Structure formats: structure tokens, C-alpha cells
Structure 1
Amino acid sequence: MRYWLFKSEPSVWSWDDQVARGDAGEEWDGVRNYQARNFMREMAVGDRGFFYHSQAARAVVGVVEVCATAHPDSTTEGDRWDCVDIRAVAPLSRPVTLADIKAEPALAEMALVKNSRLSVQPVTPEEWQRVCAMGGIDPDT
């Protein structure tokens, strides 16, 4: 299993929106960055990810699971852009803010810190464990 982080502006697609989709999940569509698209092409069903509210909130708020591998993004014509489907697994007991992450020396190399603009990014197993601990959730959730 691999770990990821999915960023969304809460005014566009929030954790509550994701939860409302239930077990069927939702396409993580609209990504128009080649590196982020390529990360989605690497994902497997069962991979876990952090759901991150960008903009004003700037916090990891939940855990999601990839429930469908990369396929053509339904919001565009052609075959250049792919997306995966994700479903909500569990909220964090307490949000982990970007400030919290930046203050944690063990997370200094996290993609969220180094490349904060990337909307889909990898998370190492060690980062996964640490952020889950900070958020008060079992990393095996």
C-alpha cells in the first residue's frame, strides 16, 4: 500500500462533500498538472490518502482510500487527463494544520512542505504514521 495527499479548496469540494458520496466515492477530477496526474496513474485500489483542505483552512482533515484506479477524467475531452476515484474512510480526531506539519522536524521533507502547490502528492510511510499520530487516528484505519 502507498500513501498520498489530496488537496481541495473546501468551497469547491470539502471533506463533508466527500463523506456524502459514501462508499461509491467520487472522481478526483479536474487535476491539470502532469506530475499530479502521473501520481494518480501510480495509485492502486486500497491506497490511502490524506484529505487536505487548502486555502484558508490549510489542514489535513480526513483519510480517504483509492476505490478506482486511474481512468479518463470525465470533465475533459481527450485522453491527456486521468483521475482516480476516492472514498472517505475516517475523519481525523483533530485537524493537522500546515503550521503543525511545518513545526514537526520529522516532516521537514514532506512534499506538502517542499511543494505546497501540488494538488496530489506522495506521502512516505513515516510521514503517514506521524501525521496520523498528530491527528489522533490509527494509521491502519
Structure 2
Amino acid sequence: MAVRARANWEGGNNLKHHLWWHRGLYHFERREFDEVLALYDRNFRNLASPLTQTQPDMYIDVQNAASMLFRLERQGVDVGSRWNELADKAEGRIGDCLSTFTLPHWMMALTAAGRWDAVERMLEGMRTFVTAGAGTAVPIVASAASAALR
């Protein structure tokens, strides 16, 4: 099992957070939700870890965190205030549309935290990005995000 290799992950980059996220998926599938939350807090979204402190809004870490919280809530798990930290980061990324795959994850954080004004500002940022002709995938993401809010 991959956890046996975890000693090799130490000193690595943010990919180790993603590997722990995969471990969390294993526990999620087994409906071991307390263990998933423990892995979230301790391993793949540990706010005290040097990697997270250095790059608190690293795209893959945000994707890992938001997608896991979304899955947990869909199963009726109380994730506490974890969305708020991600929503704070999302507000700082309004207008940044360069990582198209991360945009829906930012939107998940904002909507889960109930930050509707920020949701509208993020959507407007996407529309501005599209109007400027700066991206090809953003129109799809913006349309999907708008539709999901209805």
C-alpha cells in the first residue's frame, strides 16, 4: 500500500498532499469519514505545515481540499468551518482565471461558505477574462458555475 512509502514523501513538494488526498479517498469509499477529516487536517490540508504556509492557495491543494469537502458534505458529514479558510483564499483569487480547473473549486468554496457577493464578483471576473479573449476553457467554466447557482 502507498502509505508504506510515505517516508519517501517527506521533504517533497505538494504532491505529497495529493497522495494523502488519495489515501483520504480510500477511507471515503469505506465510509470512514472521521479518518478522512483527520487526514484532511493532518496531512493534505494541514494549515500548520511549512508547504501549506508557503503556498496556502496552491492549485492542487485547493482542488484536493474543496473536492473532498464537497464529497463529505454530499454524504451528510459536518465539515465544520473548513470551507471558510478556502473561501478566504478564493476571494483573493477573484479575477485570476489562469488555472481553469481550479475555478470551480474556488466557486465551491465561496458558495459553501455562503459568500454570494464574492461568487458574483468571481463570475464577473470570469466574464471579463472571456471578453478579453484570454482563455478558451473559461467560458465553459463560467457557464457551468452560473448554471449551478440557479
TM-score (norm 2): 0.25
Higher relative contact order (CA 8 A, sep 6+): 1
Name the larger-Rg structure.
Answer: 2
Q: Which of the pair is proportionally richer in strand?
A: 1
TM-score (norm 1): 0.26
